[in-house]
Chain A
Amino acid sequence: MNTIIKTTELVKIFRETAQEVCAVNNVSLSINEGEFTAIVGPSGSGKTTLLNLIGGLDKATSGSIVIDGQDISSLSEKRITEFRLHNIGFIFQAYNLIPVLTAKENVSFVMDLQGRKKSEIDRRATELLTSVGLGDRMNSRPAKLSGGQQQRVAVARALASKPKFILADEPTANLDSKSAANLLDMMERLNKQENVTFIFSTHDPRIMAKARRIVTLEDGKTVNDEAR
């Protein structure tokens, strides 16, 4: 198995006036291609901060993050944005779709940013939306879709750029139990069938139940790293 993410002694300190908060404290972690990993822990344990650091959305105070051989801690803001576009897929808790675009356009948008050909974009967006069960809702705008359907579109969008891995921050937090179960089944299928690497930050026991590796954080430190 290829290691696609390797963090070494990763530290993130937030400074708030006179106080320092160490959100991520010396975390060293390796994640291999094809993993279905959940980062869990109580609120304030540093899950989301760790995910943001791995996703290049935040800068570490110290330590390194190497993704597929590339140390992203040293990249400029411009380069890291470009890196995210081609290497990382994101699924957000609040779906964060573009409301004025249809489901298909939302999925196509990332590929358009990558500069792919229109015919390829069209074909892949159709394939992805069909694979997440929204083949019949491609021309619907987010407002016309349920929460579960919107999150499926977000999954399709995250996959569209052919990323090395997908970071999902509390993807089921806003969904009812049925939608959450369906979404998880779909992501598990994508992981097993297409070897898509998923890394979740979550409280959701349903995700924990399906995850094949659980990394537990407390006060920013890794307190448990368990493969199943």
Chain B
Amino acid sequence: MITSLAWKNIWRNRTRSSVILGAIALGLFCGVYINSFMTGWMYTTVDDDINNHLSHIQIHDTAFSANNDISAYFPREKVEAAVGESGLVTAASYRLSLTAMLASANNAVGITAKAVFPEDEKAVSTIWQNIADTMGAYLPDDARTAIVISKKTADKLKVKLKSKIVLTFQDTNGDMQSLALRVSGIYKTANGMKDEATVYVRYSDVFPVTGLPENVFHEAALRTADLETCRQADARLKTLLPDMDVKDWGENEPALEMSLAMTEFFGVIILAIFLFALSFGIINTMLMAVLERTRELGMLGAIGMSKRRIFNMIMLETALLTFVGSLVGIIIGTALIVPSLSSGIDLTPFMGDQFEDYGFGSIIYPVLNVKMFVQIIALVIIAGILSAIYPARKALKLKPLEAMRN
């Protein structure tokens, strides 16, 4: 009956309770939405980077990681054996990675040229899917000396599809090698910074002039089923290849991994700030409710309701107010997020593609996950309890006789 009384007490002053419930609901709605949006933004960025540029795991010779030396290669069989033994890798692409200069008639830029086997590459990277229909194709078999460059690079070099450009790099002997290549495709991903830095060429076009022995590579890009498997595969490969530089996506891009962790952390902080601010409103509302009912609380003590029960009743009223408001906010927030989970939220109309210059996508896919809801519910419980203590203590201090004289 005390629960029922607590619930009815909340609605004694409908306007006041509705206002604070609305404020809690709005706060939680904003918290859920911002949290989901920010986390989704980072997850989208991470997914895009993994799919287009990083893959799940990359393996290099340790010397190559240190100075990108063309002679710091590894034999394919060695890595292939370890990859096969791990049993956790779904696709692998072996690449030569050359620090090079790319020049057109108008301009020259420094880039990294990835010499790849196109079909293997398509299994680990979605760059080929980021070539628009009118922007050519990904290193087609019928094209001679093809190169795929990014839209940003094309703009800098002022070249178009089928334009001729020259790739210059140093071979293993230290001699400069130049290859004349035709732009076969122009891609554009959400990460403009990485787009600018990378071009793709066929292994068969580049290998003959590198001076490298056959079947050696600078980079193995690996895909696993998901991020959890990625962690397992990374640990396994580190054990199997102790003398090589095995890195998962987070190790390759620590800033990205840290941004993801920070975003999740700040999401919780933002929510905590919302709830902290709201708790003052809750305390004020409940304090008014206690002070208005001083006489009645005194009467309850007089007829035999213990102080513990009065304390619990006020705690329960505050908790119910907080939880109902939070529940409404979470439901509204979730309901508004669900439709954009698959379609995403396109920020291009508001921000153009300026985020892409900093490595972030313009279409955000919000994320709703159990961890977020657990964090929210934990924060709500903490805020509810903390807000309840002060008004309940006020009620606890009342003496029945003095309170009834109020």
Contacts and interface: CB of A to CB of B under 8 A. Distances in A.
Interface in A101-123: 101, 105, 108-110, 112-114
Contacts of A90: 302-303
B174 interface: no
Interface string B214-254: 00000000000000000000000000000000000000000
A58 B403 CA distance: 12
B66 interface: no
Given A100-B8, A100-B9, A110-B304, A57 B401 contact: yes
Given A57-B400, A58-B401, A113 B8 contact: no
A99 to B, nearest CB: 7
Contacts of A58: 401
B1 A112 contact: yes
Nearest to A92: B299
Contacts of B163: none
B303 A105 contact: no
A28 B401 CA distance: 23
A84 B8 CA distance: 25
B304 A85 contact: yes
Interface stretch (B102-110, B305-313, B359-367): B305-313
Contact of B304 (A52, A86, A101, A108): A86
Contact of B306 (A82, A92, A96): A82
Given A96-B295, A100-B12, A52 B401 contact: yes
Given A96-B295, A96-B404, A98-B5, A113 B305 contact: yes
A98 to B, nearest CB: 7
Contacts of A109: 1, 5
A55 B299 CA distance: 12
Contact of B8 (A78, A82, A101): A101
Most buried by A among B9, B299, B303: B303
A86 B300 CA distance: 14
A77 B397 CA distance: 12
Q: How large is the interface on B (under 10, 10 to 19, 20 to 34, 35 or more residues)?
A: 20 to 34
B301 A81 contact: yes
B296 interface: yes
Nearest to B310: A81
Contacts of B295: 96
A82 B304 contact: yes
A85 B303 contact: yes
Contact of B303 (A52, A77, A84): A84
A57 B304 contact: no
Per DSSP, are chain A's interface residues mostly helix, strand or loop, or mixed? Answer: helix
Most buried by A among B5, B296, B304: B304
A82 B11 CA distance: 29
Contacts of B299: 92, 96
A100 B5 contact: yes
Q: Interface residue tally of chain A, by bracket?
A: 20 to 34
A202 interface: no
Nearest to A78: B306
Contacts of B301: 81
Interface in A58-100: 58, 77-78, 81-82, 84-86, 88, 90, 92, 96, 98-100
Contacts of A105: 1, 4
The listed residue with most A CB atoms (<10 A of its CB), out of B301, B307, B400, is B400
A164 interface: no
Query: Which of A77, A81, A113, A114 has the largest count of B CB atoms less than 10 A from its CB?
Result: A81
Nearest to A87: B304
Contacts of A81: 301, 304-307
Interface in B1-43: 1-2, 4-5, 8-9, 11-12
A157 B401 contact: no
A161 interface: yes
Nearest to B1: A112
Interface in B95-134: none
A113 B310 CA distance: 11
Interface core residue of B1, B9, B12, B309 (most chain A CB under 10 Å): B1
A16 B159 CA distance: 97
B302 to A, nearest CB: 6
A85 B296 CA distance: 16
Interface string B282-318: 0000000000000110011111111101000000000
Across the A-B interface, the 4 shortest Cβ-Cβ residue pairs = A85-B304, A100-B8, A96-B299, A112-B1
Given A100-B9, A113-B304, 6 more contacts: A81-B301, A82-B306, A92-B299, A100-B11, A101-B8, A105-B1
Interface of A: 52, 55, 57-58, 77-78, 81-82, 84-86, 88, 90, 92, 96, 98-101, 105, 108-110, 112-114, 157, 161
18 contacts: A52-B401, A57-B400, A58-B401, A77-B307, A81-B305, A81-B306, A84-B302, A85-B305, A85-B306, A86-B304, A88-B304, A96-B296, A98-B296, A99-B296, A100-B5, A100-B8, A105-B1, A108-B1
